[in-house]
């Protein structure tokens, strides 16, 4: 059966773009006449064009029977908020895609590898698409970062895991395209003349750059990729700085515990995992929770570790993420805000100044700038030759990032969007391109 338009239900040549993001996932449809539309999800009386990249597993108990249930997206958050039974809430799991050290996590009685988590998530996405998303029949274009998140990302491993997960849903021969290339195709429809464009895509886990040359020829827009680069640093890394400086010290970071006749420092790796959203989601089963429960018995300030344990045991990662995100957004328009997190018996408040935040993230911003330089070098293009800079993703609104691009290219050349759909729209449009295979990524980008 040919894919159908989600708006009309009529059979029509449709291509589908999937932007599987660290924080949010978007599906878009492109029609032969150039129209694009995002898959809409009806939740709580609202129409949503994005599907939160999260999973919630819970143990549903009935007399004589126990069943493990799972939900994704906003339904996962709803289940987490309304939970009346044991659960596991997992977010930002895309950050594990290229990690060879992440083999599996145990969720209740089952073991889940990355491809299991992704396939499970995609199944919830399809289910809530209300029959509008048939991946097995699709002309499908899937986005991927230029460089995956992680200290030593294995891009080949990530793509194998992607392939396995999508195959389970019946996907046949999908086209994989760099996410910033998708954003470039979305932006290119606004161009009125030939232009060399830099696209900077800031996600939750990665910052990716593509330099593209767009030219009008015989009434059609022709595109040529000049160079790409990326680094596994973006919004989640900036979040880390807030958690590390404000939250962690109130949960025992820098504290000590007694061992025989000595006092030793509480190991820092617990707090490194707390400040990484994907790792925090795994602390219940990776041994960290048990380690903290042992430490609280000998800690000099056990009440702080007890609060840390409470955050893990009661899956407060999403609530903490929301508090950090709210504070970070406020600093985009204010010089100072108040960080506030409350959950259970825990309440953490502290003033947060933009100048301190910018000092904390300075090293990350420098690495992002180095990746930008690498992209320009690979494209053999100088900054002054870039005619338009298209910034997409929430982190592009962080003043320190905006300043970096304004100083390099001039404020007048910058174009920004906070549209969640821009990458997915562009990926779907690539699916309509007769030469879409030229955009396909079949191997990791050479270093």
- Residue bearing tokens 């191997």: 443
Q: How confident is the model at residue 67 (pLDDT cuts 50, 70, 90)?
A: confident
In angstroms, the CA 20 to CA 26 distance is 7
287 φ, ψ (degrees, to nearest 5): 100, -15
In angstroms, the CA 252 to CA 105 distance is 26
Residue 122, SS3 per DSSP: helix
Q: How confident is the model at residue 193 (pLDDT cuts 50, 70, 90)?
A: confident
pLDDT at position 447 is: 39
pLDDT digits (tens, 9 = 90+) for 222-271: 888 899 999 999 999 999 999 999 999 999 999 999 988 899 999 999 99
Determine the average pLDDT of the residues in 50-54.
94
- Residue spans of beta strands (DSSP E) within 218-345: 220-231, 256-259, 262-265, 336-343
In angstroms, the CA 171 to CA 11 distance is 19
Determine the average pLDDT of the residues in 302-315.
93
pLDDT digits (tens, 9 = 90+) for 318-329: 899 999 999 999
In angstroms, the CA 67 to CA 69 distance is 6
Using a cut of 0.75, tell me whether the model's pTM lies above it. Answer: yes
pLDDT digits (tens, 9 = 90+) for 130-178: 888 988 877 899 999 999 998 889 999 999 999 999 999 999 889 999 9
Determine the average pLDDT of the residues in 74-85.
86
pLDDT at position 7 is: 42
Are 13 and 428 contacting, i.e. CB atoms less than 8 angstroms apart? no
Is residue 4 scored above 70 in pLDDT? Answer: no
Computed over every residue of the chain, the mean pLDDT equals: 89
pLDDT at position 66 is: 76
Q: How confident is the model at residue 30 (pLDDT cuts 50, 70, 90)?
A: very high
Determine the average pLDDT of the residues in 294-308.
94
Comparing 189 with 199, the larger pLDDT belongs to: 199
pLDDT digits (tens, 9 = 90+) for 359-390: 999 999 999 999 999 999 999 999 999 999 99
Q: Which helix (H) or strand (E) holds 273?
A: helix 269-274
Do you know the residue count of the chain?
Answer: 447
In angstroms, the CA 16 to CA 24 distance is 17
Q: At what angle do helices 422-431 and 179-188 cross, to 10 degrees?
A: 80
The dihedral region occupied by 37, where left means phi > 0, alpha psi between -120 and 50, and beta the remainder, is: beta
In angstroms, the CA 344 to CA 335 distance is 30
Q: How confident is the model at residue 418 (pLDDT cuts 50, 70, 90)?
A: low
Comparing 103 with 8, the larger pLDDT belongs to: 103
In angstroms, the CA 285 to CA 108 distance is 9
pLDDT at position 420 is: 77
**What proportion of the chain, given as a percentage, has pLDDT over 90?**
66
Nearest to 178 by CA among 209, 154, 156, 157: 209
């Amino acid at each position: 059966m040919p894919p159908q338009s989600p708006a009309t239900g009529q059979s029509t040549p449709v291509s589908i773009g999937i932007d599987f993001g660290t924080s949010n996932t978007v599906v878009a449809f492109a029609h032969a006449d150039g129209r694009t539309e995002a898959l809409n999800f009806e939740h709580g009386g609202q129409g949503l064009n994005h599907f939160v990249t999260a999973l919630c597993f819970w143990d549903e108990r009935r007399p004589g029977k126990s069943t493990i249930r799972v939900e994704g997206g906003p339904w996962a958050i709803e289940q987490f908020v309304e939970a009346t039974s044991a659960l596991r809430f997992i977010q930002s799991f895309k950050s594990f895609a290229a990690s060879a050290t992440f083999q599996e996590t145990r969720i209740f009685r089952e073991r889940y590898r990355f491809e299991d988590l992704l396939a499970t998530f995609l199944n919830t996405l399809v289910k809530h698409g209300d029959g509008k998303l048939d991946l097995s029949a699709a002309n499908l274009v899937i986005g991927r970062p230029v460089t995956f998140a992680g200290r030593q990302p294995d891009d080949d491993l990530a793509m194998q895991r992607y392939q396995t997960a999508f195959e389970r849903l019946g996907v046949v021969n999908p086209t994989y395209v760099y996410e910033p290339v998708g954003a470039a195709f979305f932006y290119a429809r606004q161009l009125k003349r030939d232009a060399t464009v830099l696209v900077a895509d800031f996600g939750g886990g990665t910052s990716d750059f593509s330099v593209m040359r767009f030219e009008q020829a015989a009434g059609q827009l022709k595109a040529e990729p000049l160079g790409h680069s990326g680094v596994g640093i973006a919004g989640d890394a900036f979040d880390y700085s807030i958690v590390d400086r404000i939250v962690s010290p109130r949960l025992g970071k820098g504290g000590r515990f007694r061992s025989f006749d000595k006092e030793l420092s509480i190991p820092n790796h617990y707090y490194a995992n707390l400040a990484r959203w994907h790792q925090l989601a795994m602390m219940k089963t990776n041994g960290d929770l048990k380690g903290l429960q042992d430490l609280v018995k000998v800690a000099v300030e056990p009440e702080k570790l007890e609060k840390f344990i409470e955050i893990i045991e009661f899956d407060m990662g999403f609530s903490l993420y929301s508090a950090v995100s709210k504070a970070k957004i406020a600093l985009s328009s204010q010089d100072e805000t108040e960080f506030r997190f409350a959950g259970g018996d825990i309440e953490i408040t502290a003033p947060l100044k933009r100048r301190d935040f910018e000092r904390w993230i300075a090293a990350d911003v420098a690495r992002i700038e180095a990746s930008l330089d690498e992209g320009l070098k690979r494209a053999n293009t100088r900054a002054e030759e870039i005619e338009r800079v298209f910034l997409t993703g929430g982190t592009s609104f962080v003043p320190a990032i905006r300043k970096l691009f304004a100083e390099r290219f001039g404020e007048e050349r910058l174009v920004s969007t906070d549209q969640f759909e821009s990458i997915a729209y562009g990926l779907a449009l690539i699916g309509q391109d007769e030469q879409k295979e030229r955009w396909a990524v079949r191997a990791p980008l050479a270093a």
